[in-house]
Amino acid sequence: MSGNHDDAVISRQVRLLESLLEDKGIVGGETVDEVIDGFLAGASPVNGAKVVARAWTDPAFKERLLADGSAAVAELGFSAGGVQPQRLRVAENTEDVHNMIVCTLCSCYPLRLLGPSPGWYKSEAYRSRVVREPRAVLGEFGVALPDDVKVTVWDSSAETRYMVLPRRPAGTGNLSEADLASLITRNGLIGTALV
């Protein structure tokens, strides 16, 4: 998935908007940088990994996470968050179902839990193909699933963000929550990788 063209277009649009805000005297460049830095502070896939590790070790938390992701991650001090509050829904991978997330309109996803989105996630290629041919896209990421595993693609929006709860790897029953968290990648939380 290559998002270089899309990234260049988005970068030009952002620079144009920043210039307009500065030229009109609405906000200075330093203020824009401070707002962006503040917005991104603490946004990391490490946060999502901690949520998953807790769900793997605490069945009651997992139940709450699947029922109301927003409330459950708040218990750990996190949010799906952006500028406005969003609802978080968590899709659990099982033996029979594999989940993936996308935002077909832009690149919405739970920034605070997954960190800044990768370039391929924002690309037109990923956004359009994952809904039409999710198995082919998974194959490009090196993920081959048995034919009897259903692949479900969840489309994020301005109001609702999604995160995947990957399957806990076999043989990890003796690992601590911190050790489990270290196994989880951002791509696993998006659904384009297995853990």
Per-residue pLDDT at 22: 79
117 is catalytic: no
- Give 23's contacts (C-beta < 8 A, 6+ positions apart): none
Per-residue pLDDT at 39: 58
11 is catalytic: no
**Range of weakest confidence among 15-29, 38-52, 96-110:** 15-29
**Rounded-to-integer distance, Cα 58 and Cα 47, Å:** 16
Question: Residue 2: pLDDT band by 50, 70, 90 thresholds?
Answer: very low
Q: What is the crossing angle of helices 29-40 and 4-23, to 10°?
A: 130
Per-residue pLDDT at 116: 87
94 versus 159: the higher-pLDDT residue is 94
Phi (first) and psi of residue 176, to 5 degrees: -75, 165
**Rounded-to-integer distance, Cα 134 and Cα 98, Å:** 10
108 is catalytic: yes
pTM (predicted TM-score): 0.81
103 is catalytic: yes
**Range of weakest confidence among 38-42, 117-121, 154-158, 187-191:** 38-42
Average pLDDT of 159-178? 96
Q: Does the 44-190 domain belong in CATH 3.40.630.10?
A: no
66 versus 78: the higher-pLDDT residue is 66
**For the segment 85-122, what is each residue's pLDDT rounded down to a tens digit?**
789 999 999 999 999 999 998 878 888 899 888 989 99
At 148, the amino acid letter reads D
Long-range contacts of 35-42 (CB under 8 A, 24+ apart): 39/82, 39/83, 40/111, 40/116, 42/112
Per-residue pLDDT at 20: 82
The active-site residue, picked from 44, 79, 103, 156, is: 103
The active-site residue, picked from 2, 11, 106, 128, is: 106
**Rounded-to-integer distance, Cα 29 and Cα 48, Å:** 31
The active-site residue, picked from 108, 117, 123, 156, is: 108
Per-residue pLDDT at 15: 73
Taking the domains of the chain in order of start, what are their residue ranges?
Answer: 1-41, 44-190
